[in-house]
Structure 1
Amino acid sequence: MPRPAAGKQRKSAKILFVCVGLLGVALIADLLWASSTSSSSRSYKSAYDWPRPKASSDSFPVPVSSNHSAKVVTDKDKKDGVHGRLLSKTFADLPAPDLKWEKMAESPVPRLDGAAIQIHDQLFVFAGYGTIDLVHSHVDIYNFTSNKWGGRFDMPKEMAHSHLGMVTDGRYIYIVTGQYGPQCRGPTAHTFILDTKTKTWKNMPPLPLPRYAPATQLWRGRLHVMGGSKEDRYTPAVDHWSLAVKDGKVLDSEWKTELPIPRGGPHRACIVVDDRMYIVGGQEGDFMAKPNSPIFKCSRRNEVVYSDVYMLDDEMTWRVLPPMPKPDSHIEFAWAVVNNSIVIAGGTTDKHPETKKMILNYEIFRFQLDELKWSVIGKLPFRVKTTLVGFWDGWFYFTSGQRDRGPDDPTPKKVIGEMWRTKLSL
């Protein structure tokens, strides 16, 4: 009777083999689940942990604001796709007091990436995009006393149409470099002087190299031009040049090389107060021309917006000051000096971590120069970048720029020419 016993043994062996197989499948499934969970956790972390650029000889680490946090979400907000959490479209907004705004006469044309200089009760508004395919080549003037626009006149044909560096001594306006033409065309090194009384133009020596949106100021008898983007429109520049000027005349035959700026890039505010020069905010990277595009069509690239603040002191060294409440860029002409404070309106901040879209700011920031302290003192009627600011007789004005899509969508949409004002007492 050996066969029945052998059959039972084979049957038992089969049962044992099946059990071992099932146990192996269970272990493999468990390992795969654990691996998937770990991978999801890493994806979730990378979506919410904001990468910062590494420090180099040309840059400082970017401070991270503790106020840069999420808001209450709505049904319109997008899920992160991993854990079902909601991320607000307006995550970057900071709490800000409401201000009473009054709408004034609209600019003759809408402007994006234009420039503005205030002299007494007049705001000279230059150039800028009307649309991505249309740029302006003239100056409009707003009179704060009469609250009217007028006095339009043309710019030189060789002068840049956007991303300009510009400053005044109270009569003469010094204009340097910038982008020539629409879309994402190349920069020019041309520089000019405008006599605002006679409306006449003169040439200055060209910059050593063309730049986009460099920080520009008059300090201690010299015209200083710093940073901006290099000729490819993307790479941050840290170059710092100066030229001696006085009463609309150039006293040097060429630009002098100065101490490089600690961190390069365009779209930052540059202000001189009490014989000290301040550089505020800005970004690294920008749109570039699409390769081989006959119209230099703009193509998106990665940008890093920062909150850095630097000051050039008596010893000609750069000091690091307290950072802005949150990263802010596109503010080169969005500032005014009010009672020993720098006031900055709107701009752009870090891109949305989910959609990767540009986010506009609506906050009005104040930097108290005696205490070196930042605060948020109000908000604009809407979020807007590259707005043009003036301050006169207690009124804070802004005009032009690119505004948001609405209260629940801070991404850019319409280029505007609107002029608004609010009473501001500091």
Structure 2
Amino acid sequence: MRAPDLLSCRDEKPFQVFPISTLQFHSLDRSIDRSLALSDRSLGLAFSLGFVRPNEMARTSGKHKSSKLVLILILVGFLGLALVADLLWASSSSYWEFDRSEGVNVLNVEKEKPGKAVSERVLSATFADLAAPELQWEKMAAAPVPRLDGAALQIKNLLYVFAGYGTIDYVHSHVDIYNFTDNTWGGRFDMPKEMAHSHLGMVTDGRYIYVVTGQYGPQCRGPTARTFVLDTETKKWKDMLPLPVPRYAPATQLWRGRLHVMGGSKEDRHEPALEHWSIAVKNGRVLEKEWRKEIPIPRGGPHRACVVFNDRLYAIGGQEGDFMAKPGSPIFKCSRRNEVVFDNVYMLDDDMKWKDMPPMPKPDSHIEFAWAIVNNSLVIAGGTTEKHPVDKEDDIGWRNVPI
């Protein structure tokens, strides 16, 4: 039935349209039907009750002929009205269905097909039509040492690379610097002895690098809550207020004058953490005496990208679960646990509430230092997905989503 669909569709538009309803048309049709039936029954009733006798009809045939003519004209009139009403309804519905849609964005909602998921968001065609940035890869000078689960941040033409596993039994405790201008490595210097060696939370304001919590030592040793700041111009370290509790690989970012630290893994290295703290900082100094509790992240876990763009904070990807220390092992030997990599994307808005954003095309983890913003697109390179490493660049079609 077309008219009910039309009405329900119109009810959702910015302005309301209420053409004559099907019920009204049906009422009108039934009225016409009743009128026609009443005329027929009235004529039959006149015959059956003997109000008009046949011999009288013969004597007054001229009068009856004129009466029949009037009755026929009345019936034709009713039929004509019904036809005109029907034509008006058809033309009205056709007009509103086609002509009005030219000035209003109409969302055609199809019935969900079994077995197929329905997207929660419809993206603007403007962004869906944007082409991906053309990425050309070039091999550069190899790093001085291999690293796993370290950290890296760019400031101007320099890339600072921190800590990380050398092997499962050995961790680095220094910083190497790569120069983009001349494609060279140099300027190595040491980290504080108390600083974590892997699974670091880290962010920079363009000069100072804030280093938060992380794992201290090799294998699957415990985390430390110690926090430091590095002045990259003087290469001097300062101690900062420790995090309330230690975490592994929390999402870390500077936003609106505050250092935000959220998620990560709890002290057992496996259970995802939801806590979110912030503290005011400026020019490498902490401006408050304690960390402030913020709204928890909707889904906890380590190894996610944390991005600020257009004054919005985004948490992207990550995982739940990680290797744990084998119970009773004197060296905290790592033992495999179930890891769930996810594609969730969250945005923290002006009201300090998390909003779900379009997910990544596929789950991705270990991307906290593997992203860059290129021409208003977020580019994520590599990462770990479904427990297996990936070595392909991933600006992943998801580039079409504005951040």
TM-score range, shorter chain: 0.5 to 0.7
Name the structure with the higher helix share: 2
Asked if the contact 2:270–2:322 (Cα under 8 Å) also holds between the matched residues in 1, the reply is yes
Structure 2 match to 1:343? 379
Offset at residue 186 of structure 1 (A): 0.3
Change in 2 beyond 3 A, CA 1:226/1:367: farther
Change in 2 beyond 3 A, CA 1:340/1:297: same
Structure 1 match to 2:41? none
SS of the aligned residue for 2:206 comes to coil
Structure 2 match to 1:250? 286
The 5 Å alignment of 1:230-309 reads 230-309=266-345
Structure 2 match to 1:225? 261
Q: Distance in 1 between matches of 2:181 and 2:397?
A: 27
The 5 Å alignment of 1:1-400 reads 100-351=136-387, 358-365=388-395, 372=401
SS of the aligned residue for 1:102 comes to coil
| Structure 1 unmatched runs, 5+ | 1-63, 67-95, 352-357, 375-426
Asked if the contact 1:367–1:373 (Cα under 8 Å) also holds between the matched residues in 2, the reply is no
Q: Distance in 1 between matches of 2:174 and 2:143?
A: 13
Offset at residue 372 of structure 1 (A): 2.0
Change in 2 beyond 3 A, CA 1:100/1:342: closer
Residue 163 of structure 2 aligns with an amino acid whose one-letter code is A
Q: Distance in 2 between matches of 1:185 and 1:117?
A: 25
Offset at residue 65 of structure 1 (A): 11
Question: So what's the TM-score if we normalise by structure 2?
Answer: 0.66
Q: Distance in 2 between matches of 1:185 and 1:223?
A: 26
Q: Distance in 1 between matches of 2:223 and 2:280?
A: 23
Q: Distance in 2 between matches of 1:228 and 1:193?
A: 20
Q: Distance in 2 between matches of 1:100 and 1:216?
A: 29
Offset at residue 150 of structure 1 (A): 0.6
Q: Distance in 2 between matches of 1:268 and 1:361?
A: 17
Q: Distance in 2 between matches of 1:65 and 1:265?
A: 27
Offset at residue 367 of structure 1 (A): 7.2
Residue 321 of structure 1 aligns with an amino acid whose one-letter code is M
Residue 394 of structure 2 aligns with an amino acid whose one-letter code is I
Identity %: 76
Offset at residue 336 of structure 1 (A): 0.8
Residue 362 of structure 1 aligns with an amino acid whose one-letter code is K
Q: Distance in 2 between matches of 1:337 and 1:99?
A: 13
Residue 392 of structure 2 aligns with an amino acid whose one-letter code is Y
Change in 2 beyond 3 A, CA 1:182/1:221: same
Change in 2 beyond 3 A, CA 1:338/1:65: farther
Question: So what's the TM-score if we normalise by structure 1?
Answer: 0.62
Q: Distance in 2 between matches of 1:336 and 1:97?
A: 12
Change in 2 beyond 3 A, CA 1:367/1:125: farther
Q: Distance in 2 between matches of 1:98 and 1:316?
A: 35
Offset at residue 134 of structure 1 (A): 0.7
Q: Distance in 1 between matches of 2:165 and 2:243?
A: 23
